[in-house]
């Protein structure tokens, strides 16, 4: 039988999705599964976006410009201008999800064998994107007892070698919910200037910052206009995960020009996704206020009640809608499988994401899981109760 490529063999399975067969089997047995394993919000997509698709009146669903519909790119630029970030539509490349933006940036800025430093735990698909580009992720570990704060900048600098080309952060962070401060970002700015690196920032959760904290973008940093590359998406901001629209944004013209060549190779971003995304820019601020209030209530409920469970520790996230928690178990993945295969409480169970898959360093996160508090409080209440009862049984 022909062999797979090295890339194909090394491509990791998603820790978010690899337990899906166990969940499907549980459902076939009639067990209700609460999905806290994946960041798929139950928040309604804005009606204005859905109406824009319903009212599509062109006779042909044509290719768009490979960089994206110009009016949409201008709309995104205006969105950032309203945040006092000075960019033009020419600094924006529409992509097929935020994922494609990351892949395009890796391919455009790094050679096979080059390295990117990423604080761990990190969004697990960064691993897959790095393998596609033939580059190496070098992790710098953040710790649950510190709330997953950025490690000392000296620890980051120790990892820089002749092969290092970039530092990547997710802010607010998936999977931890950590929100990087302006001071931390200024330290990263000084570091990338000192070593002439790119600073990549995945800012798809920028609308979700809590407790009066404000988001500070890499595009707000002076002096690194040619170093900063931002990844954006409509998936979480407007609860539009399925339309697969993101953006790569940079004032570095050569990065945009190079990435556009990859965009031309895939012809164009999804037409209907762009139509929905552009319409979403007109969403009233009341939409975000309602969504914010819902998420802050969910966060407060789930963190307070998780920490009431004996042996569980969940730091309070300041952004996004995730938390990584420590469980009183030796192998969280075994526990997550057991929840789906063997446990039920009132004929219900819960699906979690083992956190080891969000670390690059072997052995890290073995007793941790990620929870996405994307369900209504009624479902979160049931989920926390299931987890509490499950731990009692599992420990026996």
17: CATH: 3.90.1150.10
With respect to residue 14, please indicate whether it lies within any of the assigned structural domains: yes
172 within some domain: yes
In a domain, 1, yes or no: no
The answer to whether residues 180 and 169 touch, using CB atoms and an 8 Å cutoff, is yes
Whether residue 377 lies inside any domain: the answer is yes
d(CA 24, CA 1): 31
Query: Could you tell me if 134 and 221 lie in one domain?
Result: yes
- Structure confidence at residue 113 (pLDDT): 97
Is 222 part of any domain? yes
Asked, for residue 105, whether it belongs to a domain, the answer is yes
Phi, psi of 116 (to 5 degrees): -125, 130
Residue 39 resides in a domain: yes
327 located within any domain: yes
- The answer on 56 and 147 residing in a single domain is yes
Q: pLDDT at position 34, please?
A: 97
The token pair that represents 375 in the structure block: 């369900």
Is the same domain home to 136 and 264? Answer: yes
Q: Are strands 368-372 and 322-326 parallel, antiparallel or unpaired?
A: antiparallel
Task: Say how far apart CA 171 and CA 87 lie, in whole Å.
Answer: 20
Token match 């709309």: residue?
Answer: 75
Same domain for 309 and 292: yes
Tell me, what's the pLDDT at 7? 84
> What's the domain count of the chain?
2
* Alpha carbons 32 and 150: distance in angstroms, whole number: 38
* Statement to judge: residues 230 and 365 lie in one domain: no
Which residue among 280, 305, 324 closes a domain? 280
Whether residues 35 and 139 share a domain: the answer is no
Report field, pTM of the whole predicted structure over 0.85: yes
Pairing verdict, β 353-354 and 136-141: unpaired
Cβ atoms within 10 Å of 18's Cβ, excluding its own? 17
> How many Cβ atoms from other residues are within 10 Å of residue 395's Cβ?
11
- Averaged pLDDT, groups of 10, the chain, 396 residues long: 86 79 95 93 93 95 97 98 97 98 98 98 95 96 96 97 98 97 97 98 96 95 97 95 97 98 97 98 93 95 97 96 97 96 96 95 96 95 97 91
Whether residue 110 is found in the same domain as residue 180:
yes
How far the first Cα of the chain sits from its last, in Å, is: 46
Q: Which pLDDT does position 390 carry in this prediction?
A: 97
At residue 89, the pLDDT reads 98
- Whole-number Cα distances in Å, 194 to 160, 186, 223: 11, 12, 11
Task: Write the CATH number for 55.
Answer: 3.40.640.10
Do residue 210 and residue 266 come from a single domain? yes
Give the pLDDT of residue 40. Answer: 86
Same domain, 241 and 386: no
Q: Where among 229, 255, 280 does a domain terminate?
A: 280
Same domain, 15 and 88: no
Residue 354: what pLDDT? 95
Looking at the structure, do residues 92 and 172 belong to the same domain, yes or no? yes
- Rounded Cα–Cα distance for residues 203 and 248 (Å): 11
CA gap 394, 332 in Å, rounded: 11
Rounded-to-integer distance, Cα 260 and Cα 256, Å: 6
Tokens matching residue 54: 């319903």
CA 263 to chain CA centroid, Å, is 22
DSSP type of residue 194: H
The per-residue pLDDT for 252 is: 98
State the DSSP code for 313: B
258 and 336 inside one domain = no
Token duo for residue 225? 């206009």
The pLDDT value recorded for residue 42 is: 87
**How would you classify the pairing of strands 115-120 and 353-354?**
unpaired
Among 237, 150, 217, 229, CA closest to 192: 229
Cα–Cα distances in Å, from 4 out to 9, 10, 136, 229?
A: 6, 10, 20, 33
**Which domain covers residue 52, as residue numbers?**
47-280
Q: What one-character DSSP code corresponds to residue 170?
A: E
Please state, in angstroms and rounded to a whole number, the distance separating the CA atoms of residues 206 and 216.
Answer: 9
pLDDT digits (tens, 9 = 90+) for 352-391: 999 999 999 999 999 999 999 999 999 999 999 999 999 9
User: Among 224, 258, 280, which residue terminates a domain?
Assistant: 280
């Amino acid at each position: 039988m022909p062999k797979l490529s090295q890339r194909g063999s090394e491509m990791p399975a998603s820790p978010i999705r690899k337990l899906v067969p166990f969940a499907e089997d549980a459902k076939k047995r009639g067990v209700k599964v609460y999905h806290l394993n994946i960041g798929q919000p139950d928040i309604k997509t804005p009606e204005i976006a859905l109406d824009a698709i319903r009212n599509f009146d062109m006779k042909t669903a044509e290719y768009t410009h490979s960089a994206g519909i110009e009016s949409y790119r201008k709309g995104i630029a205006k969105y950032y201008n309203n945040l006092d970030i000075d960019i033009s539509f020419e600094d924006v490349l529409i992509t097929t999800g935020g994922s494609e933006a990351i892949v395009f940036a890796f391919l455009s800025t790094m050679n096979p064998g080059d390295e990117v430093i990423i604080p761990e735990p990190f969004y697990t698909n960064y691993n897959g994107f790095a393998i596609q580009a033939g580059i190496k992720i070098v992790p710098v570990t953040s710790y649950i007892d510190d709330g997953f704060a950025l490690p000392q900048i000296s620890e980051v600098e120790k990892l820089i070698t002749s092969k290092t080309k970039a530092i990547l952060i997710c802010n607010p962070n998936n999977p931890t919910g950590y929100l990087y401060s302006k001071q931390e970002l200024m330290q990263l700015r000084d570091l990338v200037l000192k070593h002439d690196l790119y600073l990549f920032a995945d800012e798809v959760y920028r609308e979700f910052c809590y407790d009066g904290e404000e988001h500070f973008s890499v595009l707000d940093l002076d002096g690194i206009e040619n170093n900063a590359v931002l990844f954006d998406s409509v998936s979480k901001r407007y609860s539009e995960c399925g339309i697969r629209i993101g953006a790569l944004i940079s004032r570095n013209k050569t990065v945009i020009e190079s990435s556009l060549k990859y965009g031309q190779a895939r012809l164009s971003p999804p037409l209907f996704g762009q139509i929905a995304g552009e319409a979403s820019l007109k969403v009233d601020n009341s939409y975000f206020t309602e969504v914010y209030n819902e998420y802050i209530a969910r966060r407060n409920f789930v963190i307070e009640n998780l920490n009431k469970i004996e042996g569980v520790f969940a730091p309070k996230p300041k952004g996004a809608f995730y938390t990584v928690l420590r469980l009183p178990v030796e192998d969280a993945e075994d526990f997550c499988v057991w929840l789906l295969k063997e446990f039920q409480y009132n004929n219900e169970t819960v699906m979690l994401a083992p956190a080891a898959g969000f670390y690059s360093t072997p052995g890290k996160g073995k007793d941790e899981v990620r929870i996405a508090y994307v369900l209504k409080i009624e479902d979160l209440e049931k989920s926390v109760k299931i987890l509490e009862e499950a731990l009692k049984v599992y420990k026996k």
